Structure 1
Amino acid sequence: MARTSGPETRERLIRAAEEIFAAQGTDGAQLRDIVRLAGQSNPSAVQYHFGSRAGLLDAVMAGRQARTERVIAPLLDALDNTDATGDEGPGVRELLAALVTAESSLLADDRGRRCLRISAQLSRETGLRTGTPHPALDGTAYGRVIGRMADCLTELPGPLRLERLDLALTLIGAAFADRARQYLDGVEPLTGEELFLADLVATTTAFLHAPVPRTA
């Protein structure tokens, strides 16, 4: 069995957690399975390196966030540069396209696919419905894209705008998690990836721009 100290052991635990959380769910996963898969003999290895189960999950999501940030940050910069030329700033569709492109980068390998399956289970924790985004989004390009989308939806009443944005992110997360599951299981998707991504942007844009319904 491997020793339970050092950055290499921490990385082994994170990779094992990605696999177990994706397969068993963030609530159902057993820490002993993660420790075993990571090749550790100490059953307290997770507590030693991460403090708790929640700390390990945070570390998994931090790595996932870092990967998407590397993609979405330059895309947002490009949109901002276009805005700076005096043209009309990016709309919901353009911002969604940047977000979807960043998320799609995780489909390229099994590690990213597992992280997509995990994060879809945590979409309820974005904090958008309360108007206070999750601290993990603070100062990130990902968080700025969401804020910019909210600014583009001023025709919606405030509570409805927050609810729609939260539901839109949940929809996107669920769509990517399902696509990731198909890739991991070797299932042939109904559509090619290019069409899947374009349709996801189009349908989510339409959802966000749907008129406010009349109520009794």
Structure 2
Amino acid sequence: MPRTSGPETREKLIRAAEEVFAAQGVDGAQLRDIVALAGQSNPSAVQYHFGSRAGLLDAVMAGRLARTEAALAPPLTTAEAGEPALRELIGLLVTAEATELRTDRGRRCLRISAQLSHESGVRTGVPHPTLAGTAYWRLICRVAAALAAAGLAEPVRLERLDLALTLIGAALADRARHYLDGAAPLTGEELFLADLTGTTTAFLLAAAPEPKEFP
């Protein structure tokens, strides 16, 4: 059997991890299943190439982020030359994220990343290390600024923004599941993305609750 190089083995493990994490869940996935699917005989292959389970998951998400960045950065830079409205910013995010729906690999990664949406760092204002300096985080900051300009208090706007990202991630992951299962979704993709953009924008701009004591 021909030997494979380190980079080739890493790529096989990443591809296998995408399948297993998507099918079994981030927390439920078994490393032995990933190693077996990647065709590796060494049970410690993940530790050898990635250091840990978390390192492998980071590698999977790094590839997914790189693809989204490539789709998001050019239109965001163009939009920032003017004064993009909140709906336009959300539309850019939804459209960029939806490029992952084009391939089975991207669809699996959408199912994985939906489980990690609360790890972005939005609630604390400190980006996850993988997001620092990215167009994705720049867009999040623009959205947060738009919500501040709309008069939302900081705790409310940060929580809403985090929940909005969760909504987008969950909706795209559900769409990805339909495609992977060969099931027909209720709406066409163009309508789905337009509705997701509009729904998310409306959620973010909903009237703030009246100040009062809550039990």
Q: Fold match, TM over 0.5?
A: yes
Pick from 172, 175, 178: which aligns with 1:176?
172
- Is 3-12 or 116-125 further displaced after alignment? 3-12
State the Cα distance separating 1:213 from its structure 2 match.
Answer: 1.4
1:110-129 aligned within 5 A: 110-129=104-123
How many angstroms apart in 1 are the aligned matches of 2:137 and 2:120?
Answer: 10
Amino acid of the structure 1 residue aligned with 2:118: R
Aligned residues: 210
How many angstroms apart in 2 are the aligned matches of 1:181 and 1:161?
Answer: 30
State the Cα distance separating 1:131 from its structure 2 match.
Answer: 2.0
Amino acid of the structure 2 residue aligned with 1:22: A
| Aligned match of 2:42 | 42
Secondary structure at the aligned position of 2:130 is classed as helix
Pick from 118, 136, 142: which aligns with 2:130?
136
How many angstroms apart in 2 are the aligned matches of 1:27 and 1:11?
Answer: 21
- Is 171-180 or 129-138 further displaced after alignment? 129-138
Identity of aligned residues (%): 73
**Which of structure 1's runs of 4+ aligned residues deviate more than 6 A?**
none
1:11-90 aligned within 5 A: 11-81=11-81, 83=82, 89-90=83-84
How many angstroms apart in 1 are the aligned matches of 2:50 and 2:4?
Answer: 12
Residues 3 and 40, structure 1, Cα contact 8 Å, conserved in 2: no
How many angstroms apart in 2 are the aligned matches of 1:9 and 1:27?
Answer: 23
How many angstroms apart in 2 are the aligned matches of 1:127 and 1:71?
Answer: 22
User: How well do the aligned residues superpose, as a CA RMSD in angstroms?
Assistant: 1.2
How many angstroms apart in 2 are the aligned matches of 1:92 and 1:169?
Answer: 14
How many angstroms apart in 2 are the aligned matches of 1:45 and 1:4?
Answer: 13
The normalised TM-score by structure 2 is 0.95
How many angstroms apart in 1 are the aligned matches of 2:195 and 2:132?
Answer: 29
How many angstroms apart in 2 are the aligned matches of 1:150 and 1:177?
Answer: 24
How many angstroms apart in 2 are the aligned matches of 1:136 and 1:91?
Answer: 26
State the Cα distance separating 1:182 from its structure 2 match.
Answer: 0.4
The normalised TM-score by structure 1 is 0.94
| Aligned match of 1:8 | 8
Cα deviation digits, residues 59-92 of structure 1 (max 9, x gap): 00000000000000001011023x1xxxxx0011
| Aligned match of 2:96 | 102
Structure 2 unaligned residues grouped into runs of 5+: none
Structure 1 unaligned residues grouped into runs of 5+: 84-88
Cα deviation digits, residues 24-75 of structure 1 (max 9, x gap): 0000000000000000010010011000000000000000000000000001
| Aligned match of 1:200 | 196
Amino acid of the structure 2 residue aligned with 1:116: L
- Cα distance change, pair 4–50 in 1 and its aligned pair in 2 (3 A): farther
Amino acid of the structure 1 residue aligned with 2:162: D
